[in-house]
Structure formats: C-alpha cells, structure tokens
Amino acid sequence: MTLLRILLVVPLLALAACATPVGARTAEAVAIVRGFQASDHPIPAAVFENAQGVAILREGSGALLIGGSGGEGVFLKRTQTGWSAPVAINTAGATIGLQAGYQTRDIVLIMNTTDEVTRFLDDGLYGVAEASAVAGPATTDPNNAGGPGPATYYYLRKEGIFGGLLVGGVTFMTADKVNRELYGPDVTAQDIVGGNVKPPAGTTILWQALN
C-alpha cells in the first residue's frame, strides 16, 4: 500500500464511526446543490442530465503538517427512471505541507461514464487526484468543445467562494454502517442504487434539485 493510499484510507476508516443518518445527509446534500444553483455560477442542467453518478460532499480541513480533511455526503446513480436512492459516503483527503486554519468546502462530483460508477461500486472506494479531476463547465453545453469529455467533473465551493482548484483531490468510500442502519443489515451499495430499497424521507427533494 502506498503512502498516499495509507494517508487517505486511515482517515476514512476513522470516519466510519461517523453516524449521521442518511436522511440528514440527504437534507444537507439538498442545501449544497441549492447553494450552487442559486449562485452566480450554477451547475448547468446539461451536466446533471449527462451524469451517470453524482457525489455531493461537505468536507472540513484542519491545521496539520500533513493537511487532513474529512466529511460526509451521499452518492446517487443514474437509473432508467431518474436517480437512485442515496448511498451514504465518507470522505477524506491528504495534502503534504504546512496548513493553517480550518475551512470547509462543498463538492459536487459528477461521474460522466458508467465505468466510473462501476469502479466506485465495485471497490467501495473512489479517489480523484488533483491532476485528473477537471473543473466542471459553466456553459449550458458541457460538450461544446467536441470530442470525448473527461470521466469526472467537480464543482467546488469553499467558504462561500465558488470555483477554484480541487487541491489534493478527493477520496470517498461507502459508509456501510450508516447505510445498514437505514436500509437493513444485509444491504449493499449495489442494492441501494439498484432500486432494492425504500428511499429515505427527503430523497424526492434531492432528486428534484438534481433535475
């Protein structure tokens, strides 16, 4: 296991104890999406329409020599009829270097291909490095440049400021304990996105926000 992977996975394992219910995470995801859409730089509708998966995250980072961040969120998969029920996820990141202060950031991560969604669901862990993440387009046509687009877009809001670089990338994993508490002890992330569970209260509002 590489040093970077250790730096990312260890905080994620610690976050496994975070037990914010899926319903509360869903409500926070609604607030995050609405915050983006009410800004001067909303996420274009076409980006959501073309998305195969979306992760909505709120992270906080503290002052450490090895900068660490952690947070919570939800993941939804595109289905034949719209969006799946939300999967609870935990996030963590690590950047080397002197850090100062404490800050939060809201992230909407758009997976544009089914391969990216499958990679996350198969592994239970998904990471986007700073070098490979592409800031999402602000135009109404995300493919106006021609040719195949990137596998992943991100939209970032940091302490009320929209845009900027996704420094250090972002990594998240399924919050299995939280998901089991709502959906049942034997339910997997595949079951949740496959429509085999009853969505929690507030999910319809999140679906509407994404549409």
Q: Are strands 87-96 and 170-174 parallel, antiparallel or unpaired?
A: antiparallel
Query: pLDDT at position 146, please?
Result: 54
The Cα-based distances of 20 to 15, 43, 116 in angstroms read 11, 26, 26
Average pLDDT, integer, range 125-134: 66
Question: What token pair was written down for 103?
Answer: 């800050």
Average pLDDT, integer, range 184-204: 93
pLDDT per position as a tens digit, 46-101: 999 999 999 999 887 654 444 455 789 999 999 999 999 999 999 865 544 434 45
Question: What token pair was written down for 193?
Answer: 């996105």
HSE of 59 in the Cβ direction (CA atoms, 13 Å)? 31
- Model confidence at 20, pLDDT cuts 50, 70, 90, reads confident
pLDDT above 90 (res 131): no
Share of the chain above pLDDT 70, in %: 69
Query: pLDDT at position 31, please?
Result: 94
Query: pLDDT at position 95, please?
Result: 45
| Mean pLDDT for all residues in the chain | 78
Q: Is 147 helix (H, G, I), strand (E, B) or coil?
A: coil
pLDDT above 70 (res 208): yes
Which of these, 22, 32, 52, 6, lies nearest to 175 by C-alpha position? 22
pTM of the predicted protein model: 0.80
Strands (E), 62-176: 66-77, 87-96, 103-111, 125-128, 134-135, 152-158, 161-162, 170-174
> Could you give the CA distance from residue 2 to residue 89 in angstroms, rounded to a whole number?
23
Query: pLDDT at position 63, please?
Result: 45
pLDDT per position as a tens digit, 24-51: 999 999 999 999 999 888 999 999 999 9
Share of the chain above pLDDT 90, in %: 42
pLDDT above 70 (res 114): yes
- Angle at which helix 22-37 crosses helix 176-183, to 10 degrees, equals 110
209 CB neighbour count, 10 Å cutoff:
17
DSSP per position, 24-67: HHHHHHHHHHHHHHTSSSPPPHHHHHH-SEEEEEEEEE---SEE
The larger pLDDT score, comparing residue 66 to residue 132, is at 132
Question: What token pair was written down for 100?
Answer: 């100062």
Region label for 197, one of left (φ > 0), alpha (ψ between -120 and 50) or beta (otherwise): beta
Which of these, 114, 123, 2, lies nearest to 50 by C-alpha position? 114
> Could you give the CA distance from residue 118 to residue 78 in angstroms, rounded to a whole number?
12
